[in-house]
Each structure stands twice: as structure tokens, then as C-alpha cells.
Structure 1
Amino acid sequence: MAYNPVTEGYIIDAPWRIDSSVQTIPILAIANDPLNADIHNIYVLDHNNGDNVVASTNWANKQVITANNKPFFYLFNLNKDLFVGNPISVKIKFDLESYLDNEEGPIYIYKSSTDLPTLSNWYVGDTHYHTNYSRNLVEYGAPIRDTKEGARALGLDWITITDHSFDLKAEEWPLLKAESSQYTDTSFVFIPGEEVSTNEYIGDKYRHYLALGINNYIDGIEIDPGFPFAGHTPPDTVNLVKSYGGSGYIAHPYLGHTVIDDPFRQPWKDAEYNLDFTGLQFWNYETVNGDDYEFNAGYEKWKSLLKDGRHVYVSGGSDAHGDFNTNLGKVRTYVYTEQFNQQGILTALKNGNSFMTNGPFVTFKIDNAILGQTVSKPSGSNPTLNIQWASTPEFGAVNKIEIWRNNATAITLNLNSLSGTNSWTDSTPVTSETYYRLVAYASGDYRAYTNPIWVKPNQGGGLDDGDSSSSSGGGGGGGSSGSDTKKPAKSEKKSILPSISVPSLPTIGAGDEAIDSGSGEPINSVVPDDSAKGITALLIYNLKKVGWPAALAMFAAIAAIAFAFQKLQVTGYKPRAK
């Protein structure tokens, strides 16, 4: 999902849930109207309370909207106690110059009675997210600063930014990295990266590869009127990411399995799974249902790779473009690290010290080995798994945990508790390399999948000498922190924007762009518009992004919208009082 510049001139966005410890709700107002209507004020309405006005921008002068400052973003941070009911129901109203006022919403925000479940030294994030550096003719995301507010409120600790390589320009890469660092602190971490488009030969359909923690920019497929597309081959892409100091996850590997899905995209080919990638990211918002083909196909491919002896990992991410209310954080990845910073999180993702979930928390240890590690034990040993889980009323009690031994379920633990510990000893002696992993199920479709721990038989014991990880002391129950960087408790978090409450409403001074009253920074996107590539390029691009039927419908909609707005200029004109 993404903000759509063609069909959505005005947008309201806010997190789909907020942690219990969070007091303020970030509510994002976005204007990207093709007619550049100036904005006099923006109002926030409590829909559960008869559309009562909760807050307003109270600008002394209108905000002049031009092609150069769109999309226009304004973020409210409002005390949750200003709203009634649960879930909260919010609308916004744009007071526009010369046009009918525009209302957006309602959208709904669930006030959780708890924070997201976790244990010491575990940090939860989203491995696949697009900001407004992913900006093109059919989609764009939210600014990094506003993303931080939305992500923290819903309970995330970190995000890996994976903006499209075909959108991100070489001159913007340093800006993305600088912004990521600017808004990274002891409460939240941004990790800059790319979603790289790759194809095997000129004219080949493309695939996506998440490049995490790279030091250098990787250019993507360029869409030009000359046609066809040209990009890095999958082997080149995987090798580039490694040479640039990063790790790579194959993104939605089975997206494009039908022509209607995307005529210019195809699933990753079987031979390409022999490449030296880090892992797979086949679970995102669009594959949140267990019967989804893309999820099931990706899950089976992962099991096949593990069966073949590959040490590859999985991660979960939303693939959101902004979309706080529908996508961001719906599928999450927990990492174990004693260093809450970019390097600590990247190391955990590189080494599989992680699990993916849309609800419950689950982890385990074998001896001192944590998820993603290999432990050496004497041949013929019977490994013991020490398991720990946690959930909340929001996701329901954990009702069962499957323990997988290699490619089959060894045993299912039937449970009915929000948290607990258990241990299980394998009765089958380990005489060859064997891996174990868990799948935990809570209420409904909430579930979690851990990365494996491998047991390697030898004459001794302990962690395998070739193993690397973010820590050797965590997993089942946390571990000692030493003097490493620690994240403060969520109750210690402070918003980077001021809390707005009635009757003291935010006031913005005169000027041609909105300036936040707390930070003094421009609200508008720093990414310049670069959509003028010609009619041929426009058609090709839209076909590539959304498929033939949607692209044709989109062009028809553009014509209809233009005609409608032309009529609005006459019928919807509203003279303003002098």
C-alpha cells in the first residue's frame, strides 16, 4: 500500500494502534492536490464525539501550495485523552482557498492496554519500509521525521528504510543517510538501505532485493522512453550489496506470479536461490493471511533451502509507503542485540538473531546459542530447547508452539497462556547437522516464526567457531548488558514534536511553506518532483507498477478528475471574507 498521488489529493494517516505507554497520537495531514489549492487551516475532528474539533493549525496566513512544495505534510501530536472511545475515530478537515472544504476519514486507532510484548535486549522493527524518497507517478511515502513519530507510537523501535533504487537518485542517497542519522537516537533507530530492482538481461522482468546497511548507493532500473529496462543482474546485485558492507534479503520472492499481478515483475528464479544472500522477506502486510499464495510459496522455499543445508534467515516487513494506519508494523521483526544502534540491529539481521511475527513473542536457546547461531555438541547428544513466549490480550494467549526438527514438526506444545517458559529435550540423538525452529500461534491468525538454531555434532561442545552473532548471551531470557548501548524504557520516551492540547493550539507564522512550531523545520518534502519523463515513459512506468488493467483505469481516472476539478472551479468557488 502507498499514498497515491493520482487518486488521493488529501490524506489523513495515523498509527493503527498505540502502545499503552504512549500518551500522544501522531496524526499526519497530507495535501497533494493536482490544482494546488492553498490551505487556510487544518482541523482535527473526533468522529466518536460528533466530529468535535480537537485541534487546529490556527495559521495566521494561508499556506501557499505550489508544485514545488508538494506533497505538503503537517503532523499533529495530540494527547490521546482528547478523544473519546476505543478505538479512537479521527477525521481531518482542510479549509481550502477557492474550493469546497475537504474532509478525510474517519480512520481508527486502537488504544492498546499494553505495549507490544518483548523481553530484555529484544527490539522490534520493520525491515521493509519506504519514505518520501520513494516518490514517483503512482506512489510516495511519508517523511522520515513523521515516520519516526508514527512508528514509535505503535510500538516499533527501529525501521530499515528500503526506498526504491529506481526512485532514489545518487544525489539523494547522502540526504537519506543524513536524515536517518538525524532522527536516530536512544529511543529509535533508522537504518538506511534500498530496495534494489534487478533483472537478468535487458528486457527481462524485474525482481526486488533488500539491501540493508550498505555504505554506497546502488542505482536501479531506469525507465526511459527509449525502452527496454536495464538494471543489475541478480548475481551482480547480491555481490554489490556484500561488497558495500551490507546484507541482503530477497523481497516478496513470489510477487509477480500472475500477469494481472504485474506484467513487468516475475518471481525469483530457482537458480537464483543459489546466490549468497542473507535471507528471505516473504511476509509483509499483503501476505498477512496464512492462505496467501505468496506467503505459502515463500515459506516452502525457505524450508527447501534449509533442507538443502543452507543457513538462510527470514524477516518480516510491511512494504509500507507511509501508511501508518493500514500497513506499517502489521508484520514485525524482533532482533536480539545488546547494542541498540544501527550496527547492533544490522548484525542481528545479518546473523539471523531474529524472528518475525504479527502478534506473539517467542524465542528459544540451546545451551548458550540464540536464534541464528550454530552450537557444537558431541555426536549422539540430545539437545534441550529452552523456550520462552509472551503475548498480550490484544493478540490473545499463545495456544500452541510447534517445534520443528529439520523439515518436520517434532512435537506440538499445547498451551493457553499469555507468557511462560518450557523446555523440551529431543529424544532422537543428533549425529549430523540438525536445525530446530519454532512456530507460535495465538488467537485468530496471530503467529510467529523463529529463525533456526543449528546443532553441529563434533567431539567437543559449545558455539561453533565459525559462528558469529550480535551476542552470545541472549535469546531465551535476555542476557547481561555489560556497558553496551541500551534503549530507555518506553515511559521515558519523549516526542520530537510538541504535544498539542486544547485550548493551546499550534500556530504557524506566515510564509509559503509550513514550518513546525516546535522544531522550526520545514514540513514539506525535500525530494524534488521528477515525473516529466514523457507520455511513453509514463505509460510504461504505470504498467510496470500496477499492471495493465489498473494502468488503463488510472489514465481514464486522470482525465475524469481533471474534468471534475475544472467544474469545481466554477461550481465550488467559495469567496472568502475580507
Structure 2
Amino acid sequence: MPISSLLFSLLAGNNQLPQGFLDIISSLVTCSAFFILYAEIHYRFKFTPSRLFQRQPEIIADAPHRLPPNTPVPILIFLKDAHLFSCELVEVTVEAQLVKPLQPKDERAPLPTLTFQLLKSREAVNKPWWWRILYVKLPDDWLGWAQINVVIDYRVGRKKFRCCNDNYIGVSHAPLHVFLSGASLPSVPNYYYGDLHCHTNATSDQVEFGAPLEAMVALAQAQELSFFAATDHSYDLDDYPEDYLRNDPALRKWHDLQAAIRRLNDTHANFVILSGEEVSCGNARGRNVHFLILNHPHFIRGSGDSAERWLRTKPDHTIAEVLAMLTPQALAFAAHPAVLTPYLESLLLGRGHWDLMDLQHGRLNGVQFWNAGRRYEEEGLQQWRALLLQGRRMFAIAGSDAHGNFNRFRQITLPFMKMIEHHRHLFGSMRTAAYVDGKLQLDSLIAALHAGRACLTNGPLIDFSVVTPNGGLARMGDQLKTTGGMIMLNAVSSAEFGKLAYIKIWRGDLERREETTLYEETAFPHAFQHRVQLPLPSDYNHYYLRAEAITQRESFTVEQGASCRALTNPIWIEKQS
């Protein structure tokens, strides 16, 4: 049976297929990056059963995966499609327990469970989108991993229901895990953290939807982010707000999102939302790839891999055509360029990946290779290094690619049949730390990103610069002509992200086109901070410098022993004769 016929049989609910075929298709689609938001369960083909469908709104509870000290836990309660299946919220109860304290006092003593009643009165919900943030104040001495269950009692018609953390069918309903940190994020003056690839509820279609924009601001601030980019899919932004199966010539959804971003930027001091778009466009082979476009004032159409017209996958624009449309202040980054396309996405959606030839365009600002796991992170890093050694002045950024997903990632793997959960792509887990001159605002942040003054991190922070003999200063992203100078590095971590284990400064020789180690350290007198002052090498004429720091965590993560990492953008040096 052809793979397309097999997939259609699955979508049509054919339960006579052998389990082996189901396992193969499940594994293929599980590898996919296609269905990765909060899961939409109400869409189904006409006359086709769905194992995920139920006559209730989707009900989801979410919370940040980490919080700084003395911060109330924001619990996001989110209902979708209550206009189709109205309900009444009766009670919201939160049960919290410190399950893995940083400093256990007595391992034999039982850890208490605290209970909070959060809903003051019953509330009828009959809107397409309804959300509320309810706050829980945990004891100040609770440090470590807290386990939180959000129990929601509700009525649909005359029937009473209760769900824990969500009402999806076939998932774990496991507790939310929130790390209550004993310290703030590692800090150096003028650095601000943000997530440059995430999706709002403007991304909403047959299988997925994102989080409300205003809720994202509240949960971002709670976990010490100062900005994020709203990069919704181009093929969702051109839909009617009330019908994701039809395109809207007036682009009301896109215009509404721009207006909401402007309003929230005006009302939230010291926080910036970057207007953006994840544009689907054509690579050199005519395959659909994804493009992060930030701070561009116009919508760019891209629907080749939208699945709105099956097997009609020709891109609307090429990479070069998209770049030619951009205003000078717009930013363009290749999204997850090293992630290989699963077979079904390639076959049915015409998707491909970014080759080195696609990354040669001079207007391209950089790459966002850090969001999809260690394998693709390493492959993306190697791709970026190859471009740097070719002489490209190209910057890197980080982003989670979160579609909601503050605490747990829920994904449809087999349409209408199966869902899975994991803890990747969590909002704010992959951060860009931007060095901003002066006050944080939209213009100063855009200027920092245009200049490449940013460090990528999921833990430690690196401040990296060069001081010249006459007192000049070059930061990440700068080009410098000088007769000498001092390299200045300041690496900072915390107990949450682990002790410093490895620091390296790389030198990229642009004449020999090779990258070698200039400085390396693995022993640190101070566990969470290390400073380096090093003279510029005198035996190279044209090169770049970049730095890297790795920490080693102990038992402070879900994946025990996992390391954290920071990468800087380069400083380009030309020896002055």
C-alpha cells in the first residue's frame, strides 16, 4: 500500500490495519515537527471517528517550568472551543508538594502537601478562547522541584466532570513540575533574556493552537524573561479568525495580532514583544523551509506546507524573494536549519531543510539552530561554524519554538488517534541574552540583535568583549581593526544551572579557514563565576573569536546530570599594520 494511502486509511479511522503499520507510521510522525502546539481535538474529517474527540472544550492547566525566589506560581487555566461545547467551571483546586528539595533536612520526614482553592465563584464559559491566570504563593523556604496538580471540576450540560492538569484523552495527566530556584537567572549588567521563537494563539488550525499573547507576557515575566518574539506560522496568520480552513483576504488575524502587540508594548514597562512571523518559503531545491522574520511591518505569505491544500506544496516565495521584501530594520534568521525533515512531512508537505547554499544570502542576519535537542544543536553549530569560516558575518540566536508549552509539551502523533508528552520545546528554556545599550525598549533591542550582541544559553551567561590599547571596546558582533588589545570574558552560572565545568575561546582563522582553541579551562577556583583577561594573538591577521561555557548540573533537572551551555556570537578582528 502506498504511504499516502496508508496515511489516509489511518486518518479515516481504519482500525483493520496491522499494528506493525500503525507503529511504523506512529514513529514516522512522532519525529515530525508538524503537530507541536497545544493539541486541537475537535477537528475531524466528515464521517470519520476520532479517538481524541470529546464533546467538551479543551481544558489545559499550565505553569512556568522555573521561577526565581519569592515568586508566586502563575497557573494558566485555558479553555478552547467552549462556544461549541459550553461549560461551567465549578472549582479549581491546586495541590502542591516539594518533591525534590535542594537541601533535604530529613529524608525520613514526609513532605507536606499544600492545597489551595482558587475559584471564588462558578463561572460559565461559552467563548472560543477563555483563559485566566490564578496565583499560588508557596512557602519562601520551598527551593527545588515542586509538583503541582491543578484539579478542575466543571459541568457540561447536566453532567459533572473532573480533570487533572488537562482533559485530553490518552495522556498521563501527570503533575506540573516547577523548579523553585534559590537565585535569579545569571546576570551581568545590560543583558536581557528572551525567547526569539515562540507561537501565540494566532497559530491555530486543525491539530494545534498556541497560548494567548497576554498570558505569555505574564508567564514570561514570572520566569525572568524581558522579551519574546511572536513568530506565528504564515499559513495560520492568513486565516479567518473564526475559521482556520479558509484564508482571509483582509488578514484580520494578522492585523489583530499587530495591534495587540503594540498595545501590550505600550502598557508593559521593561518588557518587549517583537512582532514576527515564521514564514514558509522555498529553498534552492524548491522545498518548504521555515524563516523567522522579525520587526517587518508587512505580512509575508507562505502556505506551501500548510496542509490546507493537500499535495499542493509549491512555495509561495523563495528565500531570496522573501529577503528582497524586507525593510532595513527587519531581521531574518533561518529557523532550525539543521533539523532533518521526517519522511511524511517531505512527502505530503513538500518540506526540506536549509542547505549551506541556502544560507549564503547576504541579507540573511543569521541562524536559529538551538531549539530541537542536542543532536540538531550540534549539527546546527557545525553548519554555523562552516559559514563563519567562509567569511560570513552571521549571527546566531536561540528560541524554544514553544507553542504554549510552558511546562509540558503535548503532541498529536497520529491524527485523531494518539498523543504523547515530553519536556522539550518549553517556553523560555532556550534563551537569547541580548546586550542592550541603555533602557530596554523595542528600538534598542532591535539594534542589539542587528549588531549580533547576544549570547545563546539554556543556563550560564557569558559577557565577551575586546578592549583596545586606546580604550576602545568591541562587543559580540563587532568588527575591529587594531594593533593589539585584551580579550575580556566573564562567565556566570548558578546552583540551578550547575557549576562551571568548561570554558573555551575559539579562534577562527579566516585565511586558513580553520577553527582552533585559543583558551581552555576546566578547573575553577570559584564554582559559579570565572573571569578571563587574555592578550589578542599577534600571529594572525584576520580572524574571529567566540566563546563557549558548559556547566554540570547534579540533581536539579528532570534529566539528572544534564549539562547547560552558553555560546557567544563572534567578534571579528583584523590586524592593523
TM over 0.5: yes
- Cα deviation digits, residues 442-480 of structure 1 (max 9, x gap): 114201000000112234xxxxxxxxxxxxxxxxxxxxx
**How far off its partner does 1:227 sit?**
4.9
Match of 1:282 in 2: 369
Say whether residues 1:125 and 2:194 are aligned partners: yes
Q: Report if aligned partners of 1:389, 1:421 keep a CA contact under 8 Å in 2.
A: yes
**How far off its partner does 1:108 sit?**
1.2
Say whether residues 1:441 and 2:550 are aligned partners: yes
The one of the two structures with greater contact order (alpha-carbon pairs below 8 A, sep at least 6) is: 1
Which letter maps to 1:181?
R
1:116-515 equivalences under 5 Å are 116-169=185-238, 170-184=251-265, 185-200=268-283, 204-221=286-303, 223-225=307-309, 227-229=311-313, 230-240=315-325, 242-243=326-327, 245-259=329-343, 263=347, 264=349, 265-276=351-362, 277-284=364-371, 286-287=372-373, 289=374, 292=375, 294-326=376-408, 327-338=426-437, 339-367=439-467, 368-378=473-483, 381=484, 383-406=485-508, 407-416=515-524, 417-431=527-541, 433-443=542-552, 444-459=562-577
Say whether residues 1:80 and 2:188 are aligned partners: no
Normalised TM-score (structure 1): 0.72
Q: Report if aligned partners of 2:481, 2:576 keep a CA contact under 8 Å in 1.
A: yes
Distance 1:351 1:245 in 2: 11
Match of 1:502 in 2: none
Which letter maps to 2:507?
R
Note the residue ranges of structure 1 that are not aligned, 5 or more in a row.
Answer: 460-578
Q: 1:209 to 1:259 in 2, by over 3 A?
A: same
Distance 1:261 1:425 in 2: 50
Aligned length: 443
SS at match of 1:81: coil
**How far off its partner does 1:345 sit?**
1.1
> Would you tell me which structure has more strand in proportion to its own residues?
2
1:55 paired residue among 109, 117, 137: 117
Q: 1:226 to 1:435 in 2, by over 3 A?
A: closer
- Cα deviation digits, residues 152-175 of structure 1 (max 9, x gap): 111111101111111013222232
| Cα-Cα RMSD | 2.4
Distance 1:85 1:409 in 2: 38
Which letter maps to 2:324?
N
Distance 1:131 1:120 in 2: 30
Q: 1:321 to 1:167 in 2, by over 3 A?
A: same
Which letter maps to 1:323?
N
Distance 1:175 1:89 in 2: 37
Say whether residues 1:70 and 2:128 are aligned partners: yes
Q: 1:149 to 1:42 in 2, by over 3 A?
A: farther
- Cα deviation digits, residues 323-358 of structure 1 (max 9, x gap): 111401111110011230111111111111001011
Distance 2:537 2:309 in 1: 64
Distance 1:116 1:348 in 2: 20
**How far off its partner does 1:384 sit?**
2.4
Match of 1:101 in 2: 162
Q: 1:26 to 1:392 in 2, by over 3 A?
A: same
Match of 1:2 in 2: 37
Bigger mean CA offset, 449-458 vs 303-312:
449-458
- Cα deviation digits, residues 153-203 of structure 1 (max 9, x gap): 1111110111111101322223212222222222321111101110259x9
Distance 1:441 1:232 in 2: 39
Distance 1:174 1:346 in 2: 21
Normalised TM-score (structure 2): 0.72
Q: Report if aligned partners of 1:283, 1:331 keep a CA contact under 8 Å in 2.
A: yes
Distance 1:3 1:213 in 2: 26
Note the residue ranges of structure 2 that are not aligned, 5 or more in a row.
Answer: 1-35, 42-51, 98-110, 166-173, 239-250, 409-425, 468-472, 509-514, 553-561
**How far off its partner does 1:419 sit?**
1.4
Q: Report if aligned partners of 1:248, 1:278 keep a CA contact under 8 Å in 2.
A: yes
Aligned-pair identity in percent equals 26
Say whether residues 1:15 and 2:68 are aligned partners: no
- Cα deviation digits, residues 464-523 of structure 1 (max 9, x gap): xxxxxxxxxxxxxxxxxxxxxxxxxxxxxxxxxxxxxxxxxxxxxxxxxxxxxxxxxxxx
Distance 1:23 1:226 in 2: 47
SS at match of 2:39: coil
